[in-house]
């Protein structure tokens, strides 16, 4: 499949999409999404839709005849399958510990800490806990309500506009950016080459290096 990022659509409109066009189907991920774990979840979610389509269990939107309720069930299945792919059952049980029960009350901070450990978003982890019987449906609904209030209370970070350095990382990925910078530092490529490879003006390279050394390297944001 082909994987692309699109940048001129708001996150509220779409975080991802899949185009059921064989033999090369497409997954598109919204480049405005700054959280790598969220991008990974969207990628797996859309991959599930492609797999369903390949198995003749899903059709393109124009020919799909499912009701809204039936389509919601498909979306829920894609969410669950994506979360299982990112966090296998054994890894989840090991991270949670043997003492956890469905009646356990999970705080926002607890889910955030565990999400950082298994490297998925807190909301995806809550879904994963629910599906494995580690969070009851009622507690899941309660947690999601609390999570929505928490997200709404967060300050608007920069009005939603990414810096040139953040856009470069979002376009090409952290490993490629590091490879380009390391090659430039080793004099294997010139600064002009590096700027062209990253589609980034050289004046932003210091900002880019700071970004790579920041919280995103090895750690996750709480939101």
Largest CA distance in the chain: 59
Extract the tokens encoding 125.
Answer: 């982890």
Q: Which runs of E-coded beta strand occur in the chain?
A: 2-6, 16-19, 26-30
Comparing CA positions, the residue from 71, 84, 10 lying closest to residue 45 is: 84
Residue 206 pLDDT greater than 80, yes or no:
yes
**3-state helix, strand and coil shares in percent for the chain, rounded to the nearest 5:** 55, 5, 35
Can you give the pLDDT at residue 156? Answer: 62
CB 115 within 8 A of CB 124: yes
In tens, the pLDDT along 127-162 reads 889 888 889 999 999 999 999 998 888 776 544 567
Q: What is the DSSP letter of 102?
A: T
Range in 66-70, 92-96, 210-214 the model is least confident about: 210-214
CB 180 within 8 A of CB 198: yes
Extract the tokens encoding 216.
Answer: 């995103």
Can you give the pLDDT at residue 26? Answer: 92
């Amino acid at each position: 499949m082909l994987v692309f990022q699109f940048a001129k659509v708001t996150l509220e409109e779409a975080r991802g999409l899949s185009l059921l066009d064989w033999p090369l189907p497409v997954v598109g991920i919204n480049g405005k999404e700054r959280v790598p774990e969220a991008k990974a979840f969207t990628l797996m979610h859309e991959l599930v839709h492609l797999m369903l389509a390949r198995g003749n269990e899903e059709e393109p939107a124009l020919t799909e005849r499912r009701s809204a309720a039936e389509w919601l069930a498909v979306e829920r299945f894609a969410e669950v399958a994506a979360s299982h792919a990112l966090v296998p059952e054994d890894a989840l049980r090991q991270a949670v510990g043997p003492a956890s029960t469905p009646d356990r009350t999970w705080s926002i901070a607890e889910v955030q800490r565990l999400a950082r450990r298994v490297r998925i978003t807190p909301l995806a982890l809550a879904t994963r806990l629910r599906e494995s019987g580690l969070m009851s449906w009622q507690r899941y609904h309660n947690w999601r309500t609390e999570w929505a209030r928490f997200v709404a209370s967060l300050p608007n970070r920069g009005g939603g506009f990414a810096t040139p350095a953040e856009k470069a990382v979002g376009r090409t990925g952290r490993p490629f950016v590091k490879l380009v910078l390391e090659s430039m530092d080793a004099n294997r490529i010139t600064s002009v080459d590096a700027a062209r490879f990253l589609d980034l003006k050289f004046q932003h390279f210091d900002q880019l290096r700071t970004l790579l050394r920041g919280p995103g390297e090895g750690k996750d944001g709480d939101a």
